[in-house]
């Protein structure tokens, strides 16, 4: 099943998406997509784990050697926004790029989880676009606050699809299109550290809780984003996440 959260008539709703891609509320009533605003599909986001350089081809294009253990950093819930929503390009920067990533959403708490049991702790999967501001990438052990912690710059969604409905995730295609042009293409087969390893690794350090998310990294393929661009990150069997790039002035002017 695909599960999402939307704003409809100023009310937050938990909805499902059926096999015909109809949006259904808890009573089975169909909603018109034009009448909803997509929200982060995780109702109460927990810890957001993100992986740097977890695809060897991406490390290579950035002139870094592949890491020998996971390069993990944490993100705040302020970075999250929904499908078909705006994200902004900060003023006075040189280069901002997308990062299409498979996200595992934890559904069952656990500490010291074995690799063999890891997948049982996953509720399902979604897609995120973990934008990066390249101007401030300082070294191998990046990123710093200015690179990855800005409002709206981790769109996520459109939905969470149940783990069982996706099945094997070891070779899923990832693509990004900017204004219809294919600019990134890869496969989860190229992950350096796969998801069972990451769950085992992270749960040795801290208890994983329902609502925690693991963004598993991105393959190669960079393009500078500009206001007006439409970015679509798609992962096979999971979904396609659309984001609209606006200026910093427009983004904050629309909110305050």
pLDDT in tens, 60-70: 666 667 888 99
Confidence band of 141 (pLDDT split at 50, 70, 90): low
Is pLDDT above 70 for 58?
no
Options 3.30.2350.10, 3.90.850.10, 2.30.40.10, 3.40.50.300; which CATH number does 40-255 get?
3.90.850.10
Confidence band of 145 (pLDDT split at 50, 70, 90): confident
What pLDDT was estimated at residue 65? Answer: 76
Report the alpha-carbon distance of residue 117 to residue 137 in Å, rounded: 35
What pLDDT was estimated at residue 196? Answer: 98
| Token duo for residue 217 | 């990294």
> What's the pLDDT tens digit per position in 35-57?
999 999 999 999 999 998 899 76
> What's the pLDDT tens digit per position in 80-135?
999 999 999 999 999 999 999 999 999 999 999 999 999 999 999 999 999 999 88
Options 3.40.50.11820, 2.60.40.10, 2.30.30.370, 3.30.830.10; which CATH number does 1-39 get?
2.30.30.370
Residue extents of the structural domains in the chain: 1-39, 40-255
For the whole prediction, is pTM greater than 0.85? yes
> What's the pLDDT tens digit per position in 4-15?
999 999 999 999
What pLDDT was estimated at residue 144? Answer: 73
What pLDDT was estimated at residue 41? Answer: 98
Over residues 201-218, mean pLDDT: 98
What pLDDT was estimated at residue 66? Answer: 81
Is pLDDT above 60 for 140?
no
């Amino acid at each position: 099943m695909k599960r999402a959260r939307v704003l409809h008539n100023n009310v937050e709703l938990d909805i499902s998406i059926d096999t015909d891609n109809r949006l259904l509320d808890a009573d089975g009533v169909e909603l018109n997509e034009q009448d909803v605003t997509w929200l982060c599909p995780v109702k109460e986001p927990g810890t957001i784990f993100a992986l740097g350089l977890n695809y060897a081809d991406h490390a290579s294009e950035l002139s870094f050697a592949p890491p020998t253990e996971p390069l993990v950093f944490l993100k705040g819930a302020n970075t999250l926004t929904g499908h078909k929503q705006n994200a902004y390009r900060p003023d006075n920067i040189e280069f901002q790029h997308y990062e299409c990533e498979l996200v595992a959403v934890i559904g069952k708490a656990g500490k010291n989880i074995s690799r063999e049991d890891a997948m049982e702790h996953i509720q399902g999967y979604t897609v995120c676009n973990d934008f990066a501001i390249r101007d401030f990438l300082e070294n191998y052990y990046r990123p710093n606050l200015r690179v990855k912690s800005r409002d709206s710059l981790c769109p996520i969604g459109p939905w969470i699809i149940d783990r069982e409905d996706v099945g094997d995730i070891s070779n899923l295609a990832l693509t990004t299109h900017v204004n219809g042009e294919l600019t990134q293409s890869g496969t989860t087969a190229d992950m350096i550290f796969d998801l069972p390893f990451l769950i085992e690794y992270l749960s040795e350090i801290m208890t994983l809780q329902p609502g925690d998310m693991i963004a598993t990294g991105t393959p190669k393929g960079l393009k500078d984003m500009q206001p007006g661009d439409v970015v679509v990150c798609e992962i096979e069997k999971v979904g396609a996440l659309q984001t609209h790039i606006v200026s910093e002035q427009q983004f904050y002017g629309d909110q305050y």
